[in-house]
Amino acid sequence: MGKGIAFEFAKAGASVALHYSHSAEGAKKAVEEILADGGHAAAFGADFTRLDEVRGLAKDALAFLGGIDVLVNSAGITMNRLFELVTPEQFEVLYAVNVKAPFFLTQELLPALLLAQDAAIVNISSIHAFGGRREHSVYAGTRGAIVSFTRELAIELAPRGIRVNAIAPGPTEVENHHRIIPDLDVDAVGKLIPAGFLGQPQDIGKVAVFLASEAARYIVGQTIVVDGGTSAWFSLCDSFRDQGPGRFGKGYVPGI
């Protein structure tokens, strides 16, 4: 998803500093594609469980960019595990990467963002912040934390010239899904989504670019849900494609 976001910003003319954690391959390939299209990009590694590396990433990115007016906090990891089996170490890793790292990365970059005078921060949350799914107790908490962090930070920074918003993606096709589920049927999943297809990273990227742009200047502290209508559907309904089995309103609404 981060790669899709980086591509969309590069298309919009931005210089892009990409982050990777353990493997540089994907980020460096993305950089090569951006450079081939005439863009300006570089990739930097940092272990987000280590605060010194988080701060080092900020310094490296700033040195490359020469300044910054948009920060997208998109890094995030998940796991599925029954609540009673979650260990303190697992809890700490997810909160370190998903909450602590973006918090202190933003803090480290704040002076440079303030210099831009008209800057934007876009945090990536998830629809897990608004609905429960089995075995995601830790991840859901981290995504909810980002929504609250976004709202509060927006109020602090708006008077200082920085807009803060978030995106809550729904089902989105990424490479990791195919590694974990080799027989993933993208078309079948798409039929379960009101929009009729599985979201793509560029769908999230386009919204991120919008939120960072002048066109979104009056949007502050909001979390935009981008999920193809997934969370708009009543979960107790049999199907969003079928007509309901009952007829409410008979006897008190004309024409029913």
Q: What angle do CA 227, 3, 124 make, to 5 degrees?
A: 45
DSSP class of residue 199 equals B
Q: Which of these is catalytic: 20, 139, 218, 252?
A: 139
Alpha carbon separation from 253 to 86, 235, 245, 250, 256 (Å, rounded) = 52, 26, 18, 6, 6
Cα 250 from Cα 241, distance rounded (Å): 23
Q: Say if residues 240 and 190 touch (Cβ distance below 8 Å).
A: no
For the chain, what's the residue count? Answer: 256
The vertex-17 CA angle with 172 and 204, nearest 5°, equals 20
CA-CA distance, 54 to 48, in Å (whole number)?
6
Q: Going along the chain, which residue ranges are E strands?
A: 16-20, 41-45, 70-73, 119-124, 162-169, 223-226
Q: How many CB atoms lie within 10 A of CB 252?
A: 7
The answer to whether residue 252 is catalytic is: no
Six-digit token pair at 101? 């790292």
Compute CA 129 distance to the chain's CA centroid, rounded to the nearest angstrom: 12
Phi, psi values for residue 70, rounded to 5°: -140, 130
Q: Which two tokens stand for residue 58?
A: 């900020």
Active site residues: 139
